[in-house]
Structure 1
Amino acid sequence: MAGHTRRRVLRGTALAAAGSVVGGFGPGRLAPSARAEGSGGAASSPFLEGAFAPVSEELTEFDLPVSGRVPRELNGRYLRTGPNALGLEDPRAHHWMLGDGMVHGVRLRDGRAEWYRNRWVRSAQVARKLGEPYPGEAPPDDFACNTNVIPYKGRILALQESGPLPYELDGDLRTVRPYDFRSTLDGAFTAHTKYDAAADELHAVAYYPTWDHVRHLVIDGSGRVARTHRIPLAGAPMMHDFALTEKYVVLVDVPVTFDAAAAGAGAPVPYVWNERHPMRLGVMARSGGATRWFEIDPVFYSHTLNAYDEGDTVVVEYTSMPAPFSVAGRGSGGPSTTGAPTLDRWVVDLRAGHVRTARLDDLPQEFPRVNEALVSRRHRYGYAASAAEMWRAYETVDGVPPDERFSNCLVKHDMLRGTRQVHRFPRGAAASEPVFVPRLGARDEDDGYVLAYVHDPDRGASDLVILSAQDFTGRPLARVRLPGRVPLGFHGSWVADA
């Protein structure tokens, strides 16, 4: 190992804590089926195996090898987070979505891949597991946020929904402190914020199992929560994501509701598919006021691509999975569904008072993104990812589907023409969420780059793949070879240098 390259390996307490699941499996290795201590057999979970398997080391490596050329104008950090369980006492009782958050990052500067780092978010519990001190008192509902990581007003924030405060990270991915927007956040936050660049507003819709409402929060240009709108809502639904237009906030009331009995029995994820809870869209002015509700056919609303106003209609483009959807899973250690996610559209006609639904693309895909400058405004292009191993893990109700149904790819959609382009990867090369980064001085919406972590099955590690958005199916501009594996996880962002 070159003198300028350093690998920080957690030893002692950390590896002992993690040993029951991932101890002994290095950064470039896949863990086999996790085994519960004393169980005498495998506790099979697709969410603790293969591309999902937690990594057991925190790494730092400099001057990463690159195939191709990193565009010199890409100066910043590409970050992505996800669950990475640390110290499982019983894998049989584990749920993937509750794994301790770990952020993975690559620093690009002047055409170089300067470093790679991966770090657990230091909640009080994670700090204890690692044998480290936790500064100060832990906040209520403390958790190592594992769902999203965003830039905001010069800060990097790791996010979680339904309770935990965000955690602020520094530029080297060290945990700084819980963050409450300058002491103005009271209660739960969300993992899926919407930043309206034109208005310089960060929007969030927060839920909590004991509330009889959800909260629409507006964080203004000063970085403080400026407005809070409480929207009455019965049944305590899980409101994972929402949509934002120039005029409206769109709430999605899904039939996944809090189950007090399951919580009392110790269920790790006490939310169930509730056939008695109607699915609805709620449209509310961004400034607050009454919410108009529209009942629609049930699906599991997963993630928003984008939304915009069009005359007397509100258009929402999103990914969804068929009903019923089990957040808690059916013994698989993660969520389960009867079908793969697709790209769809709702058109809410405010004058006529009804909603039209359209299927835009039935190719299995998730984690949709747009050019962030167009959030809440009409867009032409969208991007998404497909990871075969994820869809196989999710479809546990009717058994494992045929391998040929799923593939690994990134997808670019042209909403104006109704077409798609697919950048395919080999078998075993699981692709994660793509993020679009505009080229400096770009005039076209898709003039820029698409970045994503992609597993390299030959190395047993991951690459940061950089595509030209305007030559999407062409050869990658660059593949940055990471020293370890980035497990399949959730969301991330490009954090440009100031």
Structure 2
Amino acid sequence: MTSKPYLTGHYTPVADEVTGLDLTVEGTLPPELTGRFIRNSHNPKPGVTPTHWFKGSGMVHGIRLREGRAEWYRNRWVHTPALDGAPYMTERGPDLAASTAGTHVIEHAGRLLALCEANLPFELTADLETVGAFDFDGKLRTAMTAHPKEDPVTGELHFFGSSPFPPYLMYYVSDAKGEIVHSAEIPGATASLKHDFAITRRHVVFVEGNVTFDPTEHSGIPYAWSDQQPARIGVMPHGSDGTRHIRWFSIEPGNMLHVSNAYEDSQGRIVLEGPTVDREGFQLSWNWWVGAPGRGSEPNARSYIRRWMIDLAAGTVDEQIIDDLAVEFPTLNEDYLGAENRYGYAVSFPDQEGFGGYGVVKYDRTTGARRIHQVGDARMPSEAVFVPAAGATNEDDGYLLTVISDLKQDSSQLLVLDAVGLNRVATVHLPRRVTAGIHGSWIPDSELDNNEN
């Protein structure tokens, strides 16, 4: 029996790969939900105890919906060299193919890619079998972030590769056909942990917080909080080389893992939002991630949404925490990615005192109101992914898809909520409890080349 928190409770790994057909549905699945909901998770093989949550091998869980039916569930490990024990560090340096591939899964240009920020992407089939490492026909020679951003206007995929060693930050753009058309080293970057970033309609926004490379950290993830590491935001135009265009702005100490959104407002300022932690909040999460004695708190216990207003003309940044609810895994209607959005969504967590609980949160950025769908005792939702409704006219016309881990019933369900009022629309009962995990995507059939199954 392990005491590692990331291998117990909601996070207990599953031991095998299964396929379930003709799943039971309560309620009515909207017919426009025809595609795949795929979610990633850290799920080490039986007998393997990683030293850090992030080091657990990736396992993808997929639910196939078609015209009101739930046709299948299947889970598959991403079969990378690391799954069979290949080390990341070798005598020749990092092996970019030795990936956990356990952070995110996206589609771009008809390819399904499992992502981990320290490595190359891994391509999967539409049935979640592993194809292999994907390097954009040799044009990607660094790691790739697990949080690329697809421009909803152009279809371009913006992403970066970061490293604790020079070059610290590389920026890439892939066109809508899946070919890298731009790459550039970003000068002035540091070894600060860069897990996520943002794009607006005209700019790319990088965030460097106080968590940075630390070779004395022996959990296998060599990063730690440093008061000496300056916190700052870097801004440059889309597709620039950075040498002449990157501008860095100092911000208050903190660390942000995930961006909610960014956009240019009517005054030309860049507005950036996302959950952040202070020094204590980061340490609480880190203690949980490594299973340190006396951890005493769940991750994200002090994670609060912060807003930065970056005035490029004046060269200033105003910032404030805009909510006191502990949340993470922010999402939105991605048609509004890079543009001003009224609505945002997140998952709520118990705070550092154990108050509050798990739920799906909706924010109205215009009125400041928030609504919470409480998922119930001993039930934990995954990141809530927005899917537009057929014929949508308003930003929140659509559905939120989240996988629930239910400890009391030792089961899981795909919960479909109405994104307007957070009311339950349908529940799909899955054949097993799904390991609580990280990020996922809704992928309509039209976006995958191989969608006949």
Normalised by the size of structure 1, how large is the TM-score? 0.82
Tell me how far apart the structure 2 counterparts of residues 331 and 347 of structure 1 sit (CA, whole Å): 32
| Residue of structure 1 aligned with 2:412, choices 446, 462, 469 | 462
The one-letter code matched in structure 2 to 1:323 is R
Letter in structure 1 aligned against 2:39 = R
**Is the aligned partner of 1:99 residue 2:56?**
yes
Encode CA deviations 1:319-377: one digit per residue, 9 max, x unaligned: 11122424993476259779421122111011221111122221111100111111111
Q: What do residues 150-181 of structure 1 show as CA deviations (whole Å, max 9, x unaligned)?
A: 1111111101103x110111111111121112
Deviation at residue 236 of structure 1 after TM alignment: 1.1
Q: CA offset at residue 98 of structure 1?
A: 0.7
Counterpart of 2:141 in structure 1 is 186
Q: 1:438 aligns with which of 383, 388, 396?
A: 388
Instruction: Say if 1:449 and 1:469, in contact at 8 Å, map to a contact too.
Output: yes
1:304 to 239, 247, 259: 259
2:38 to 61, 65, 79: 79
Alignment match, 2:27? 68
Percent identity between the two aligned chains = 40
Point out the more displaced range, 320-329 or 153-162: 320-329
Residues 487/112 of structure 1: CA separation in 2 closer, same or farther (3 Å cut): same
Q: Deviations over 1:222-278 (max 9, x none)?
A: 31111112112354111001111011111111121112344xxx5411111111111
Aligned letter for 1:219?
A: S
2:329 aligns with 367
SS of 1:125 mapped into structure 2: helix
Partner of 1:448: 398
Partners of 1:460 and 1:387 in 2: how far apart? 20
User: Which of the residues 113, 131, 149 maps onto 1:157?
Assistant: 113
Q: CA-to-partner distance for each residue in 1:410-450, whole Å, 9 max, x for gaps?
A: 01111111111111121101111000000122111111111
Kindly indicate whether the alpha-carbon contact (under 8 Å) linking 1:327 and 1:334 is maintained by their aligned counterparts in 2: no
Aligned partner (choices 376, 379, 396) of residue 338 of structure 2: 376
- Distance in 1 (alpha carbons) for counterparts of 2:439 and 2:300: 23
Which of 73, 88, 92 is equivalent to 1:116? 73
Distance 1:455 1:338, change over 3 A: closer
Post-superposition offset of 1:387: 4.1
Q: Which residue of 1 aligns with 2:225?
A: 273
Cα deviation for residue 45 of structure 1 reads 1.8
How far residue 70 of structure 1 moved from its aligned partner, in angstroms, is 1.0
After superposition, residues 20-419 of structure 1 pair within 5 angstroms as 33-34=1-2, 44-89=3-48, 91=49, 94-126=51-83, 140-162=96-118, 164-233=119-188, 235-262=190-217, 267-288=219-240, 289=242, 290-310=245-265, 311-324=267-280, 325-326=282-283, 329-330=286-287, 333=290, 339-388=301-350, 401-402=353-354, 405-419=355-369
Q: 1:430, 1:454 within 8 Å by CA — same for their partners in 2?
A: yes
Runs of 5+ in structure 2 lacking a partner?
87-93, 447-453
2:385–2:441 Cα contact (<8 Å) kept: yes
CA distance in 1: counterparts of 2:211 and 2:205, whole angstroms:
17
- Contact 2:97–2:133 (8 Å) recurs in 1: no
Q: Kindly indicate whether the alpha-carbon contact (under 8 Å) linking 2:15 and 2:46 is maintained by their aligned counterparts in 1.
A: no
Distance 1:338 1:161 in 2: 20
Helix, strand or coil at the partner of 1:57:
coil
SS in 1 for 2:260: strand
Alignment partner, residue 428 of structure 2: 480
Q: Is residue 386–residue 431 contact of structure 1 (8 Å, CA) maintained in 2?
A: no
1:116: Cα distance to partner? 0.5
Distance 1:327 1:168 in 2: 34
| Counterpart contact for 1:139–1:165, Cα < 8 Å | no
Instruction: Please give the secondary structure, in 2, of the residue aligned with 1:329.
Output: helix
Distance apart, 1:140 and its partner CA: 3.5
Letter in 2 for 1:72: P
| Amino acid in structure 1 at the alignment position of 2:60 | V
| 1:72–1:111 contact (8 Å) kept in structure 2 | yes
Residue 387 of structure 1 contacts residue 432 of structure 1 at CA under 8 Å; is this kept in 2? no
Cα distance, 1:234–1:150 mapped onto 2, change above 3 Å: closer
Which residue matches 1:428?
A: 378
Question: How far 1:471 moved relative to its partner?
Answer: 2.6
TM-aligned CA deviation for residue 81 of structure 1? 0.3
8 Å CA contact retained: 1:252, 1:281: yes
1:373 match: secondary structure: helix
Map of 2:90 onto structure 1: none
Query: Match of 1:9?
Result: none
1:489 to 432, 437, 440: 437
RMSD value, Cα: 2.1
Count residues in correspondence: 429
TM-superposed CA distance for 1:456, in Å, is 2.6
Task: Give the AA of the match of 1:199.
Answer: T
SS in 2 for 1:203: strand
- Conserved in 1, the CA contact under 8 Å of 2:301 and 2:349? no
CA distance in 2 between counterparts of 1:51 and 1:493 reads: 20
Structure 1: unaligned runs, 5 residues or longer:
1-32, 35-43, 130-137, 396-400
Q: Which has the larger radius of gyration?
A: 1
How far apart in 2 are the matches of 1:234 and 1:170? 36
Q: CA separation in 1, counterparts of 2:127 and 2:75?
A: 9
Q: 1:444 to 1:331 in 2, by over 3 A?
A: closer
